[in-house]
Amino acid sequence: AQTVTQSQPEMSVQEAETVTLSCTYDTSESDYYLFWYKQPPSRQMILVIRQEAYKQQNATENRFSVNFQKAAKSFSLKISDSQLGDAAMYFCALLYSGGGADGLTFGKGTHLIIQP
């Protein structure tokens, strides 16, 4: 069984500052993907960033970057220069890359508040 844990139910950051959201996971598989999805008040699930477990290089997408520590099973998301539009629920998710159409395992989410 796979599990994903987000230990921060809520985080708050000043606009233009940097914030880091934590995620730890557990899996017995060696090949997997990790994702961060953003869910704003509209409740649309929006892909933020993706990391393949076999890649040592941390993924980056503009202001979003991850710190992937495979041995520690940690996958944190760093948001730089926070903007009001970043306010949302952020879900960390794990996907086994066994070649089938497996479902994502999500964490409970972190509610990110951006203070102007």
Q: Hey, which residues does 115 pair with through a beta bridge?
A: 14
> In angstroms, rounded to a whole number, what is the distance separating the alpha carbons of residues 18 and 5?
22
CA dihedral 48→64→104→90, nearest 10 degrees, is -80
Q: State which of residues 60, 108, 113, 115 lies at the interface with other proteins (CB under 8 A).
A: 108
List the one residue from 8, 58, 65, 97 that touches other proteins (CB under 8 A).
97
Tell me how far, at minimum, the Cβ of 109 lies from other proteins, in Å. Answer: 6
Question: Using the rule CB under 8 A, is 35 a contact of other proteins?
Answer: yes
Residues that bind other proteins (CB under 8 A): 33, 35, 37, 42-47, 50, 91, 95, 97, 99-109
